[in-house]
Structure 1
Amino acid sequence: METKNNKVFLETIHRKLGFCSTTYVDPVGLSGGLALWWKIEVDIDIETSSKNIVHTIISDKSNSSVWAASFIYGSPNREGRDQVWDDLMGIGRTEILPWLCIGNFNEILSSEDKMGGNNPNPARFTSFHGMLSVCGLFDLGFKGPKFTWRNNRRDGDLIMERIDMAFANAKWRELHNQAMVFVDAAIGSDHNPLILNTSFPMQKVGKPFRFESFWTTKESCKSIIEEAWAVEYEGTKMVKVCKKLRGCKEKLKKKLELGFNPDYLVTEKIIKGKLEDLWQKDAMFWHQRSRIKWLQMGDKNSRFFHLSTIQRRQRNQIVKLKDDSDLWKTEANDIAVVYFVGNLVTWRTLAIIGIIPCMVQVVGVFFIPELVKIGKEKDLEATLQRLRGKDADVSQEAAEIRDYFEIVQQLPKARFLDMFQRKYAHSLTVALMVKSSFYKFVTFEVPKTLSFLNCHEHNLNQNKDLTAILVFSGIQLYVATAVGCRVRVTDSHANTLLPLDIKGSAGSLITFCNWASAWVVSYGYIFILDWNPAGTFFILAGICASTVVFVAKLVPETKGRTLEEIQASLTLFT
Structure 2
Amino acid sequence: MDSVKSSLYFENKIVVEAKGSAGGLCIMWKNGLSIIGVEHNKNMIAIKISNVVCDWLLVGFYGPPYHSKKKKAWENLFALLESHQGPWVCLGDFNFVVNDNETLGSRKGGSFTTNYLKELMAELGAIDLGFTGSKFTWAKGKWGNAPIKRRLDRGVASISWRLAFRKASIAHLGAIKSNHTPILLDTNPSESFAHRPFRFEAAWLRDNRCPIVVENSWKTKTTGSEFVKLYKKQAATRDALRKWNKEVFGQCQNKINSLLQKIKHVQDSPPSQENEATEILLQSELSKWLIRSEALWRQKSRELWLKLGDKNSRFFHLSTIIRRRRNNIDAIKLENGSWSSDLKEI
Q: TM-score range by the shorter chain?
A: 0.7 to 0.9
| AA partner of residue 256 (structure 1) | L
The structure that is helix-richer by fraction is 1
Structure 2 residue 245 is matched with structure 1 residue 256: no
* Counterpart among 26, 29, 49 of residue 35 in structure 1: 26
Structure 2 residue 273 is matched with structure 1 residue 282: no
The answer to whether the 8 A contact 1:184-1:192 is kept is yes
Mapped to 2, the partners of 1:137 and 1:77 lie a distance apart of 24
Listed one character per residue, the Cα deviations across residues 218-258 of structure 1 (whole Å, up to 9, x for unaligned) are: 345457779999xxxxxxxxxx9x99997885464244156
Task: Compare relative contact order (CA 8 Å, sep 6+) and give the higher one, 1 or 2.
Answer: 2
Listed one character per residue, the Cα deviations across residues 41-60 of structure 1 (whole Å, up to 9, x for unaligned) are: 42432211111121111234
Listed one character per residue, the Cα deviations across residues 50-104 of structure 1 (whole Å, up to 9, x for unaligned) are: 11121111234xx474321111000103453333332222122221222110111
The answer to whether the 8 A contact 1:109-1:125 is kept is no
Structure 2 residue 17 is matched with structure 1 residue 19: no
Residue aligning to 2:331: 320
Cα deviation, residue 190, structure 1: 0.3
Cα deviation, residue 334, structure 1: 3.2
Q: Which one has the largest radius of gyration?
A: 1
Structure 1 residues 323 and 113, CA gap change in structure 2 (3 angstroms)? closer
Mapped to 1, the partners of 2:325 and 2:75 lie a distance apart of 30
Q: What is the correspondence of 1:165-564 to structure 2 with a 5 Å cutoff?
A: 165-221=154-210, 249-250=234-235, 252-257=237-242, 259=244, 271-324=282-335, 329-335=340-346
The structure that is strand-richer by fraction is 2
Q: What is the correspondence of 1:84-123 to structure 2 with a 5 Å cutoff?
A: 84-121=73-110
Mapped to 2, the partners of 1:245 and 1:125 lie a distance apart of 63
User: Is there any run of 5+ residues in structure 1 with no aligned partner, and where?
Assistant: 1-9, 230-239, 336-574
The answer to whether the 8 A contact 1:100-1:167 is kept is yes
Mapped to 2, the partners of 1:160 and 1:182 lie a distance apart of 17
Listed one character per residue, the Cα deviations across residues 416-473 of structure 1 (whole Å, up to 9, x for unaligned) are: xxxxxxxxxxxxxxxxxxxxxxxxxxxxxxxxxxxxxxxxxxxxxxxxxxxxxxxxxx
The answer to whether the 8 A contact 1:117-1:157 is kept is no
The answer to whether the 8 A contact 2:171-2:183 is kept is yes
Cα deviation, residue 263, structure 1: 9.4
Aligned length: 312
Cα deviation, residue 292, structure 1: 2.6
Cα deviation, residue 40, structure 1: 1.7
Mapped to 2, the partners of 1:281 and 1:64 lie a distance apart of 26
The answer to whether the 8 A contact 1:88-1:135 is kept is no
Cα deviation, residue 213, structure 1: 1.1
SS at 2:10's partner residue?
A: coil
Q: CA RMSD in A?
A: 3.6
Listed one character per residue, the Cα deviations across residues 125-184 of structure 1 (whole Å, up to 9, x for unaligned) are: 654222123333211111111100010169997111111111111222233222211110
The answer to whether the 8 A contact 1:111-1:122 is kept is no
Mapped to 1, the partners of 2:68 and 2:314 lie a distance apart of 36
SS at 1:334's partner residue?
A: coil
Mapped to 2, the partners of 1:263 and 1:314 lie a distance apart of 27
Mapped to 1, the partners of 2:67 and 2:235 lie a distance apart of 60
| AA partner of residue 46 (structure 1) | G
Residue aligning to 2:66: 77
Mapped to 1, the partners of 2:55 and 2:203 lie a distance apart of 36
Structure 1 residues 28 and 298, CA gap change in structure 2 (3 angstroms)? farther
SS at 2:344's partner residue?
A: helix
TM-score (norm 2): 0.77
The answer to whether the 8 A contact 2:12-2:30 is kept is yes
The share of aligned pairs that are identical, in percent, is: 29
Mapped to 2, the partners of 1:22 and 1:81 lie a distance apart of 26
Residue aligning to 1:130: 119
SS at 2:178's partner residue?
A: coil
Structure 1 residues 324 and 154, CA gap change in structure 2 (3 angstroms)? closer
